[in-house]
Amino acid sequence: MPEPDPDPADEAGPIARLLAIMARLRDPERGCPWDVAQDFRTIAPYTIEEAYEVADAIEKQDFANLKDELGDLLFQVVFHARMAQEAGHFDFAAVAAGISEKMIRRHPHVFADQAGIPRSSPRISADAQTVNWEAQKAAEREAAAVQDGRRPSALDGVTPGLPALTRAAKLQKRAARVGFDWPDAAHVVSDVEGEFDELKAEMALGAPHDRLEDEMGDLLFTVVNLARHLGVDPESALRRTNAKFERRFRHVEDGLAQQGRATQEATLEEMDALWRQAKEHERR
């Protein structure tokens, strides 16, 4: 019979205590019914949500909240590791050991004193390190493909589960590394205009939904390519615009509320005037 999980209050360090708390939550008899009922698939959406909440706290420079959000994200890692341990796959220690070895392997210029790590330039620039990092990751992906009996591709490892804008940018970046890319942003602007013209043509023809979706996807993909050429992260740019839209629309609602009216009672022209007022206020 296995020994009972340690009481969280008796653990010496914060990580050990967190692991003990997770073990207790997952205990079939003493734990939380909700936590016990979860599996990898049901927890994955929460993991993604917590990562976005970390990004939001960083965007707002809300460091007090960032501490809490990082804790929530860490808890997600602990949750997945605990479920893997229960299934006999790996545990949290293996996760920590794995990422430690990977970081050492990918930073030979920093950890040259570690056994088996060849020394690279002791004074390597950030740009040079980026090149080395990507080369190391590419070598690891190629080795994994060969081991699995697959033909290696420049697009290997671009996770399908990423947000579509982020994945589009990563796919384009990978293709660009092997020469499949326009030389400058001006060429991409022409592409954007061309894709927009194609969408408008389909709209004029009354094209079915599938065709419109296809053309819209082409347009968005090309806009992402333009963002990449301009050094703009498309996901961050859209998050920023979402926040801007929310700010301005709330100004419209507040303005109408001060008049004792709801948005449903206002004309588009009246709401647009308040929208432009919000824009003007932001410029001051």
Q: For all residues of the chain together, what is the average pLDDT?
A: 88
Give the whole-angstrom CA distance, residue 211 versus residue 44: 32
pLDDT tier, 1 (very low <50, low <70, confident <90, very high otherwise): very low
pLDDT more than 70, % of the chain? 88
Query: 119 versus 248: which is more confidently predicted?
Result: 248
DSSP conformation class of 141 = H
Sign of CA dihedral 211, 203, 232, 237: negative
This prediction has a pTM of 0.65
Rounded Cα gap, residues 220 and 166, in angstroms: 12
Q: What pLDDT, on the 0 to 100 scale, is given for residue 3?
A: 47
Q: What whole-number distance in Å separates Cα of residue 49 and Cα of residue 235?
A: 15
Residue 154 pLDDT class (50, 70, 90 cuts): confident
pLDDT-based confidence at residue 133 (cuts at 50, 70, 90)? low
Residue 146: CB atoms within 10 Å: 11
The whole-number pLDDT of residue 150 equals 83
Residue 107 has φ and ψ, to the nearest 5°, of -130, 60
